[in-house]
Amino acid sequence: MNLADLNKVALAMVTPGKGILAADESSGTIKKRFDAIKVESTEENRRDYREMLFRSTEAMSKYVSGVILYDETIWQNAKDGTPLVKLIEQSGAIPGIKVDEGTQALPQCPGELVTVGLDKLAERLKKYYERGARFAKWRAVIDIGSGIPTMTAISVNAHALARYAALCQAAQIVPIVEPEVLMDGDHDIDRCYDVTQRVLNKTFQELRVQRVELEGMVLKPNMAISGKKCAKQASVDEVAEKTVRLLKACVPAAVPGIAFLSGGQSDEEATAHLDAMNRIGNLPWKLTFSYGRALQAAPQKAWSGKAENVAAGQRAFTHRARMNALASKGEWETGLEKKVA
Catalytic residues: 178, 220
Helix, strand, coil percent content, the chain, rounded in steps of 5: 50, 15, 35
d(CA 213, CA 231): 41
The secondary structure of residue 337, as a DSSP letter, is: G
CA distance 289 to 15: 11
H/E stretch holding 327: helix 310-327
Cα angle: 316, vertex 320, 322; to 5 degrees: 115
Three-state secondary structure call for residue 65: strand
**Contacts with 123 (C-beta within 8 Å, 6 or more apart), sequence order:** none
In whole angstroms, give the CA distance from residue 98 to residue 326. 26
**56 CB-near residues (< 8 Å, 6+ apart):** 314, 317, 318, 321
Other C-beta atoms within 10 Å of 244: how many?
20
